[in-house]
Structure 1
Amino acid sequence: MIMTEPFEFELVFSLPEGDHDAFALTDAVFEAGFDDALVGTGIPGLVGVELEAEGEDAQSVILDAARRLSKALPPGTRLREIRPDLVSLADVAEKLNVKRQALAQRRMPPPSLGGLYRIDEIAAALIEATTPEAGRRRPRFDVAPIQKWLRAGCAARQLNAKLTTRELDPVSVEFVPAPDDARR
């Protein structure tokens, strides 16, 4: 029996030049089979799609969703970014429904860039923070409700790296063979 689990993530696409109707973009997302997605069209030239999907592993779930969406959105649309990847303590606190200070008081990894943290390092720190040490209070937050978001984070970081190094084509959302692979 194949076990599936839910993952929560956001895909950000850059749109081709020109005007794009927000309603048409939203309809395209829904027609691709993502009826429960949140669609963000507030930044010209970009569309963000926040969704939850189930599957065996985060990377295949994210890639499947990105491929389906890239086919449904206007031709020339490019996958720009997958989130969560780098997150702020405020992002994590909002997900946990706690104040940012509740996290800042815990042992957290060093920030990576401008106050942003790598999601997989934050996930490990949260797991450690929710494991009570002898003689210490239990933290006042529960990580269980955001596990689907945290589980998607490691795959998001890996896929963003592949987008950056051009190992993942942003238009087709297919892996590009390495030059050595193409000659064999």
Structure 2
Amino acid sequence: MDREGPRRTVSRHPLLLQIFLIYYGLGQIAPLRHSALWPFLREPYWCAILALALNTSAYTAEIIRGAVQAVPAHEIEAGRACGMSGFLLRRRIIWPIALRQGLAVYGSEAILMIKATSLASIITLTELTGIAHKLISSTYRVFEIFIVTGAIYLALTFLMSTAFALFERQLHAHHAHRRA
């Protein structure tokens, strides 16, 4: 521990635990097995979607909360001084500033979710990593298959980060244009 205190790191182990609990744990609840939800919850695809959605929604809620709290108080006070309140204040002051503040962090979260989809292969869902493991077991070409799999993930993350960067640039250009 240094002078700055303990460092916090984001871990994706809660997602793995959520996937296990949703896929293997919910089936242990008898009333749930006899409900209308069971046809969805017995399928690994829907369990993975549910786990990924729950996990990313928690992180996204924190990103939004932080972005809204990062709006300078003097900007809100200026809006109120101009007679804005309620929805108009949020639409013209809080939400645009919060969007610019939180977009880069949300882009990182979206990229983390792309990479986290590889955990879905744990519950027999055939996704990119699962396909790679099947190909390796049939061809024994570990390096080539993992290099191609890594390249696909790299391309997806590059496309996603480029899209977020373009959107962020457009927001900042629009904001600079409006201020001039």
TM-score by length of 1: 0.31
Computing the radius of gyration over CA atoms, which structure comes out larger, 1 or 2? 2
TM-score by length of 2: 0.32
Q: Which has the higher helix share?
A: 2
Q: Using CA pairs below 8 Å that are at least 6 residues apart, which structure has the higher relative contact order?
A: 1
Q: Which has the higher strand share?
A: 1
